[in-house]
Amino acid sequence: MPATDLIQLRTDRHTYTLTTRIARGSTRDVFAATREDDLPCTVKICRNVTDNDLVVRESATLGRILSDPAVYDLASPYFPVPLESFTMDPGDGRAHGVCAQMTPDGAISLVQLRAGYAAGLPAQDAAWIARRLFMALGFMHARGVIHGAVLPEHVLIVPDSHGLTMVDFKAASQGEPVRLIETARRPLYPEEILCRERVGPATDLFMAVKTLQYVMGNHDVPRPLQDVFDTCLHADPRRRPQDAWALLDTFDETIEALWGPRTFRPLPWPADTSTPTKEN
Query: Which residue ranges make up each domain of the chain?
Result: 7-102, 108-259
> Given this structure, which CATH class describes domain 108-259?
mainly alpha
Measured CA angle at 20 (ends 16, 25), to 5 deg: 100
pTM of the model: 0.90
Instruction: Note the pLDDT of residue 130.
Output: 98
Report the alpha-carbon distance of residue 217 to residue 120 in Å, rounded. Answer: 4
Question: pLDDT under 70 in the chain at which residues?
Answer: 1-6, 272-280
What pLDDT, on a 0 to 100 scale, did the predictor assign at position 279? Answer: 41
- What contacts 252, CB < 8 A, 6 or more positions away? 131, 262
Tell me the residue type at 201.
P
Architecture field, domain 7-102 = 2-Layer Sandwich (3.30)
Per-residue pLDDT of 184-207, as tens digits, reads 999 999 999 999 999 999 999 999
